[in-house]
Amino acid sequence: MTPGRIVVVSNPLSGRNRRDPGLTERLRTLVPAPHRLAEPDTEAATDALATDLAAMADLAVLAVNGGDGTLSHVLSAYLRARGPEGPMPAVAVLRGGTMNTVAHGIGLDGRPEEILARVVARHREGRPQPVVERHLMRVRDGVGPDRYGFLFGNGLVSNFLEAYYEGGDVGPVKGATVLARAMASALVGGAFARRLTRPVEVQVALDGERWEDERFLAVAVGTVDDLGLGFKPFWRVVDHPGRLQALGFACSPFALAVRIPRTRWGAAWNHPDIVDVLGVRLILRGDGPQAYMIEGDFHRGGQAIEVTVGPPVPLVCG
Please, what are the domains in the chain? 5-129 (3.40.50.10330), 149-311 (2.60.200.40)
Largest Cα–Cα distance of the chain, in whole Å? 61
Nearest alpha-carbon partner for 160 in 249, 96, 236: 249
| Mean confidence (pLDDT) of the chain | 88
Classify 110 in phi/psi space as left (phi over 0), alpha (psi -120 to 50) or beta: left
| pLDDT band with cut points at 50, 70 and 90 for residue 122 | very high
Nearest alpha-carbon partner for 58 in 35, 39, 32: 35
With a CB cutoff of 8 Å and minimum separation 6, the contacts of 22 are: none
Q: At what angle do helices 43-54 and 68-82 cross, to 10 degrees?
A: 50
| pLDDT value of residue 55 | 94
| pLDDT value of residue 230 | 67
| pLDDT value of residue 137 | 97
* Report for 11-15, 23-27, 181-185, 255-259: range of highest mean pLDDT: 23-27
| pLDDT value of residue 17 | 75
Q: Over range 244-269, report the average pLDDT.
A: 83
| pLDDT band with cut points at 50, 70 and 90 for residue 220 | very high
> Above 70 in pLDDT, residue 65?
yes
| pLDDT value of residue 140 | 97
| pLDDT value of residue 294 | 92
With beta carbons less than 8 A apart as the criterion, state whether 2 and 60 touch. Answer: yes
Note the pTM of the prediction, 2 decimals: 0.89
> Above 80 in pLDDT, residue 61?
yes
DSSP labels for 248-267?
A: EE-S-HHHHHHHGGGGGGT-
Would strands 218-222 and 290-294 be described as parallel, antiparallel, or unpaired? Answer: unpaired
